[in-house]
Structure 1
Amino acid sequence: MSTIRRTIVVDRTPDDVHAYATDPSHLPEWQLSAVSAQPLEDGPVHTGSRVRVTRRIGAREIPTTMEYTEYDPPRSWGMRGLDGPVRARVHGEIEPLAEGSRSRLTLEIDFEGHGLGRALVPLVVRPQARKELPRNERALKDRLEHIGE
């Protein structure tokens, strides 16, 4: 499989970047295809937490369940899709810069196809993700750098 990997620098601390990027309520603010995201349990996010994420794919809204496979503030997090024909695997890593006042965020995403999804991943999903990820990163950077203004 071909992992999509992108890196940006954000003028916020690693704590700020991690807190915002891993909070399900913020997903639709910076991920273009995300329509909604709701935690499936009460309490703070942790390894094993699950989130119902609804994405707009073409004209359809498709709900999927994502699970945090890693949650290590403020350094990293990982998620994987649990259902549907296309299941994403996401990894985020944050490195402190400028004595911790800035952050380098690296996002990696890959997809696993099941059933019809096997054909969709290389033909539709991966090309769409390659187009969307740079825009998502710009939106994330913009949101983080302008919080409180």
Structure 2
Amino acid sequence: MSAFHEEIDVDRTPEDVWAFVIDPSHMPEWQLSAVSAEQLDEGPLGVGSRLRITRHVGSRDMPMTMEFTEYDPPHAWGMRGIDGPVRGNVHGRITPLDDGRRSHLTMDLDFEGHGIGKVLLPLVVRPQVRKELPRNEQLLKDKLEHTAA
């Protein structure tokens, strides 16, 4: 069981949801703590691809590298943090609804603390995520439902 679990229904196809969620350039549009995100390697995204994500955590901007551990368009993805004091583990799943006209999005998120991250995790990171994650999902839903296909 993950530390954080969120689910939403979105009035967009699984392919539309996938295209938006998986594109690193959109991350700052729907994740409040994301300052920037970029792919670090050449070619299409897939298992093993790495992203550099800078997040505003507490009063600091913290860069971190995430690696795709699962990549199954337009159904599921997984990522794990591979550096930094706080390393996230993310799993997302998109399930079609109404013959594929709508989508059910599930996201699970947990963290590992390394070094100072063991202190930051309970004091700063988890409380911030607890507040932010439901808002992120609402932002994502609003972006997807109010953007032309």
TM range (shorter): over 0.9
2:69 alignment partner in structure 1: 69
1:110 alignment partner in structure 2: 110
- The CA deviation at 1:59 is 2.7
Q: Which amino acid aligns with 1:24?
A: P
3-state secondary structure, aligned to 2:48: coil
3-state secondary structure, aligned to 1:131: helix
Distance 2:103 2:115 in 1: 39
- Report sequence identity in percent: 64
1:8 alignment partner in structure 2: 8
The C-alpha deviation readout for 1:42-90, integer Å capped at 9, x for no partner, is: 2211111001001111332111101111000111001111101100001
3-state secondary structure, aligned to 1:44: coil
**TM-score between both structures, scaled by the size of structure 2:** 0.95
1:127 alignment partner in structure 2: 127
Supply the RMSD in Å over aligned alpha carbons: 1.4
Superposed, which structure 2 residues align to 1:22-41 within 5 Å? Answer: 22-41=22-41
- The CA deviation at 1:102 is 0.4
3-state secondary structure, aligned to 1:96: strand
Distance 1:66 1:77 in 2: 12
Q: Which amino acid aligns with 1:83?
A: D
The C-alpha deviation readout for 1:92-130, integer Å capped at 9, x for no partner, is: 001100110000000100000011111221222112111
Distance 1:3 1:73 in 2: 25
5+ long unaligned stretches in structure 1: none
Equivalenced residues, count: 149
